[in-house]
Structure 1
Amino acid sequence: MPSSEVKPSLPVNLASSQKFSRDKALRVLLQSWRSQNILPQNVAKKLWKGIFDCVYHSDNSLVQADLIDRIASHLSTFRHLPLSLQYFSTFFLTMRREWSGIDSVR
Structure 2
Amino acid sequence: MTSDIQSSPFIKHLASSDKRTRDHALDSLRTFLSGRSQIEELDLLKLWKGLFYCMWMQDKPLNQQRLARDLASLVEALQKDVVLPFLDAFWKTMAREWNGIGALRMDKFLYLIRQYLHASFRYLSHNTWSDTTAVDHYISIIETTPLNAKDMKIPNGLRYHVLDIYVDELEKVAGEKVEEMPLERLLEPLRKLEKESKTKAVREAARNALRDERVRRWMGEESEKGESEDEEMEEGSGDEWGGIED
Tell me, yes or no, whether TM beats 0.5. Answer: yes
Scaled by the length of structure 1, the TM-score of the pair is 0.78
Q: Does residue 64 of structure 2 align to residue 35 of structure 1?
A: no
Q: Does residue 6 of structure 2 align to residue 7 of structure 1?
A: yes
On the 8 A contact 2:2/2:43 being kept in 1, the answer is yes
Partner of 2:48: 48
1:79-106: CA deviations, max 9, x gaps? 32x2011111110011011111102112
On the 8 A contact 2:17/2:63 being kept in 1, the answer is no
On the 8 A contact 2:48/2:90 being kept in 1, the answer is yes
Partner of 2:197: none
On the 8 A contact 2:10/2:28 being kept in 1, the answer is no
Distance in structure 2 (CA, Å) of the matches to 1:68 and 1:15: 11
SS in 2 for 1:19: coil
Aligned ranges 1:14-25 → 2 under 5 Å:
14=13, 18-20=16-18, 23-25=23-25
RMSD of aligned alpha carbons: 2.3
The structure, 1 or 2, with the larger RCO (C-alpha pairs under 8 Å, 6+ apart) is 1
For this pair of structures, how many residues does the alignment match?
102
| Identity score, percent | 28
SS in 2 for 1:39: coil
On the 8 A contact 1:48/1:90 being kept in 2, the answer is yes
> 1:25: Cα distance to partner?
3.6
Partner of 1:88: 87
Query: Which consecutive residues of structure 1, in runs of 5 or more, have no partner in the other structure?
Result: none
Distance in structure 2 (CA, Å) of the matches to 1:14 and 1:101: 23
Scaled by the length of structure 2, the TM-score of the pair is 0.37
Runs of 4+ in 1 over 6 A off after TM superposition: none
> 1:49: Cα distance to partner?
0.8
SS in 2 for 1:97: helix
Query: Which consecutive residues of structure 2, in runs of 5 or more, have no partner in the other structure?
Result: 106-246
> 1:31: Cα distance to partner?
1.8
